[in-house]
Amino acid sequence: MNNKIYPQYSFQNCIDGTVTISFKLNKAGEVYFSKIQKGIGTDLDDEALRLIRLSSGKWIVPEDHDTTVSVVVPINFKLSGANCQNKSPKEIKQAIEIYKTNVGMTDAVLNFYRHKANGKFTADEEQRILALKASLGYDEEYMKMRINDGLRKLKQKDKQGACEDFMFVKNMGYDLADEQIAKYCN
């Protein structure tokens, strides 16, 4: 839990709760498979998976452990002192639904930049994508926050999680993380 980094969207929208992760361990105590058994539907789910991934190799596995059996762990996210007392359950539920919708739109932006790298785009498409990015709040300030999250993950020795953040910035059409990608992700 010391490695928990409260995700930006859930923090900003006062979303908390419990994410249940199911995972499998090999004989060396390494996590070799993990999935969300019951999630919240926001970036808290991804953070719970990341925390389980960080625990890989730290589990003490009994000699007779069946490596095909899943271990189930609840990971609790609770906001305190985040000035959330004025948020109603209805507002929080709406924020969760907006997040789910935004995931699909984020995928559209990511796909555009993948195609753009191959020269497959039009100026009209790019204008629509820029407007979509703006509506999602994917501006330079947000990208800098993602880079900072990645740098915090590096300090926790979560290179994979850090590189995911850096690549997200890159794949959103920004070159702000190029230095970190070259240094840590190749």
Q: pLDDT-derived band of residue 73, with 50, 70 and 90 as boundaries?
A: very high
Q: pLDDT-derived band of residue 100, with 50, 70 and 90 as boundaries?
A: very high
Helix axes 123-136, 89-117, angle to 10 degrees: 150
Structural domain contains residue 114: yes
Q: What is the CATH number of the domain that holds 66?
A: 3.30.1150.10
Q: Which two tokens stand for residue 143?
A: 């990208």
Q: Which two tokens stand for residue 136?
A: 């999602």
Structural domain contains residue 84: no
Range of 130's domain?
Answer: 89-185
Model pTM? 0.73
Alpha helices for 41-158 (secondary structure H): 43-54, 89-117, 123-136, 140-155
Final residue of a domain: which of 40, 56, 77?
77
**Pair 61, 147 in one domain:** no
Structural domain contains residue 1: no
Final residue of a domain: which of 54, 77, 100?
77
Structural domain contains residue 49: yes
Q: Which of 172, 141, 155 is nearest to 5 (CA)?
A: 155
CA separation for the pair 66, 79 (Å, rounded): 36
Structural domain contains residue 83: no
Structural domain contains residue 2: no
Q: What is the pLDDT of residue 32?
A: 86
Angle at 181 between CA 142 and CA 100, to 5 degrees: 40
